[in-house]
A and B are shown apart, each in its own frame.
Chain A
């Protein structure tokens, strides 16, 4: 018996909101990265759920691409975090505010 698609959507929305909450409230750059990953993965859940719902593999293929994207993003993100640490001796995003008008 299959789980109804609404539940997947609820789960995905909950994960996404967690991610948004993390991005808006956290000061640690690592937590930022993790939150962004959460949001990406909530999108993945949606893709896979609908793929299963429609009996069509397109969504699953797409989710593979999203994972690859997430991996790349983490690579870049971690690089930024490392540079942040070298410059400020901590990874608080509130310190790096010089790139503005």
Chain B
């Protein structure tokens, strides 16, 4: 019987086909390409969406799927490398999110790119197609190496799309920055992949079938053996002997190496600097990057291999701290920005910080939940910002806006829905997920882990900032009196802008209802659907990817204990903080003609405007530290290494220049040398052999 899983490979391949069509037809016969490639892209991503939904429904029926597609390196007496597909609740959910956002971004691009008369559209849609393909293939990857390959491809696509307007000075430089900064993290990821393959002999996320192993499970066995239970897997034991480290230390190193890639892609401190610059790309691309692809890839990777991270308390604590710190750090910078997309950029960094916080504190469900809600409301906010930017004739400065509420109601109300979700105001989606992350951080932190508690405190403080900058943005853009001529008479937007906004606006408002933990606690109803979704029955081959297994691992290996705190009080605290931030924004900015209040911050303002001098410090790292180091290495290479080589060759050169003089062109001398040589040989042999 033909089931959904037979078509799963087509989910990523359809956008790939759209990429090929847009690129080849766009190059050889551009006149044949309808809407510059938008139509093939929309059809392909819509196809992917339908197949994803079918897959999703099949998975919700309790059947999961793992399959090797193609083995591209066959190992003799060692591991093989392959492409494969893994469909479990997590990847099925992510497939739907990615393909839905991709469809909507394609549709929105009709309004943002086609209607605005942009050139180079086939290149744009080819980029979108490849981007969607890479992310979807990354989502269904069943092993870490394949995940890494598509992770890199995602990075390449972001480079191509951020630098779409390559004739202007800003975008190419932003594209290069995004590429290099994420590549810096991916470098560690690559080493981590090699390390995991070498240690475990496999990079699979889950073991289905006989004689197949998965690295999280092998790591679990090894750590259990180190604790005195069971036996160490032979391959791992041998490798640990060779490097002479104990299992815990080495696994933590591997976890941190892979985390390097995550920090780069998900724009966590200190590799977050590329993301605000990436706003140079077209706005629909920003929506795609921030909501569903690229930035989501990092967090998704941690969730994907959570069975590994759940074993490592040190790494979890680092993830939680980095996440909590990033959430606060980025939120504080978002407070002073003047440009619409810049505020959204910092909010993205901050929100992904929350997800990392959730993963680090053992809130696997909460983080996944936030990944989902964030995908919807952040795509919505970016597309809303895109709509405003169309209306404002590509002016992004919020101080030139104001009063757009009456002029563009659809954009306003959908944007408001996204903003309420972002700020975490009940009952919009962001509230439920963010609150759950903070709740998980609190209960595990209060369960005797001060580090998690510190991360929780930072996350909680960030809620206030989030509420403030979100509503500062809303009030400055839509409320008050118009502050420029374009704001008085904005450019209209068409259905192709409004439709994605409405779809996402409804989702951003409602999608949080799938996992209302506080309500479930209060009423005793079993309405935590996402929780049930992510639990895999123990009898299944895929049980290792289920929440129950992760929970068990967290308690057994990471020593996480939940304190007995109800979800209502912490939820009320974070809601109060969000409302406080929003209220402050209301007081300061919801007036007819708001003024800049940033001056009151004094010296802090300068620091915030300059993003804590992170760019300067990274440039200093590159120019002040790395460059001299590279120079020294170059001197060593040119002077010492090349010097030895050149010295050796100069000896032969000198000897050659002297010896060649015996070849003087006079034939008699050659004959004499020949004869002499013969005589010397004869005498030498004679002496050695004793002829005389």
Interface size of A by Cβ–Cβ distance < 8 Å?
14
- Stretch of B263-271, B354-362, B380-388, B658-666 that contacts chain A: B658-666
In the A-B complex, the 10 residue pairs with the closest CB atoms: A100-B665, A97-B665, A101-B660, A23-B671, A93-B667, A97-B666, A100-B663, A99-B665, A24-B672, A100-B664
Bound Cα distance A95, B667 (Å): 10
Select from chain A the residue with minimum beta-carbon distance to B664: A100
**Cβ of A98 and Cβ of B667 under 8 Å apart?**
no
**Cβ of B666 and Cβ of A93 under 8 Å apart?**
yes
Min C-beta distance of B59 to chain A, whole Å: 81
**Cβ of A94 and Cβ of B675 under 8 Å apart?**
no
Which B662-692 residues have a C-beta within 8 angstroms of A? 663-668, 671-672, 675
Bound Cα distance A94, B671 (Å): 13
Min C-beta distance of A89 to chain B, whole Å: 18
A20 at the interface (CB under 8 A from B): yes
**Cβ of A24 and Cβ of B675 under 8 Å apart?**
yes
**Cβ of B666 and Cβ of A94 under 8 Å apart?**
yes
Select from chain B the residue with minimum beta-carbon distance to A97: B665
Q: Mark B629-673, 1 if CB is under 8 A from A, else 0.
A: 000000000000000000000000000000011011111100110
**Cβ of A24 and Cβ of B668 under 8 Å apart?**
yes
Q: Mark A32-62, 1 if CB is under 8 A from B, else 0.
A: 1000000000000000000000000000000
Select from chain A the residue with minimum beta-carbon distance to B676: A24
Select from chain A the residue with minimum beta-carbon distance to B672: A24
Min C-beta distance of A99 to chain B, whole Å: 6
The number of chain B residues touching the other chain, given as a range, is 10 to 19
Bound Cα distance A96, B672 (Å): 17
**Cβ of A101 and Cβ of B666 under 8 Å apart?**
no
Chain B, interface SS category: helix
| Chain A positions within 8 Å of B667 at CB level | 32, 93, 96
Min C-beta distance of A95 to chain B, whole Å: 10
| Chain A positions within 8 Å of B664 at CB level | 97, 100
Select from chain B the residue with minimum beta-carbon distance to A93: B667
Of A32, A96, A97, A100, which is in contact with the most chain B CB atoms at under 10 Å from its CB? A100
Min C-beta distance of A35 to chain B, whole Å: 9
| Chain B positions within 8 Å of A23 at CB level | 668, 671, 675
Given contacts A93-B667, A97-B664, A100-B665, 13 further A-B pairs with CB under 8 A are A20-B675, A23-B668, A23-B671, A24-B675, A93-B666, A94-B666, A94-B668, A96-B665, A97-B665, A98-B665, A99-B665, A100-B664, A101-B660
Q: Mark B544-569, 1 if CB is under 8 A from A, else 0.
A: 00000000000000000000000000
Select from chain B the residue with minimum beta-carbon distance to A20: B675
Select from chain B the residue with minimum beta-carbon distance to A22: B671
| Chain B positions within 8 Å of A94 at CB level | 666, 668
Partner of A24, one of B660, B661, B663, B671: B671
Bound Cα distance A69, B671 (Å): 19
Bound Cα distance A23, B676 (Å): 13
Bound Cα distance A94, B665 (Å): 9
| Chain B positions within 8 Å of A97 at CB level | 664-666
Q: Mark A8-46, 1 if CB is under 8 A from B, else 0.
A: 000000000000100111010000100000000000000
| Chain B positions within 8 Å of A101 at CB level | 660-661, 663
Bound Cα distance A101, B657 (Å): 9
Select from chain A the residue with minimum beta-carbon distance to B657: A101
Min C-beta distance of A23 to chain B, whole Å: 5
Q: Mark A69-99, 1 if CB is under 8 A from B, else 0.
A: 0000000000000000000000001101111
Select from chain B the residue with minimum beta-carbon distance to A26: B668
| Chain A positions within 8 Å of B665 at CB level | 96-100
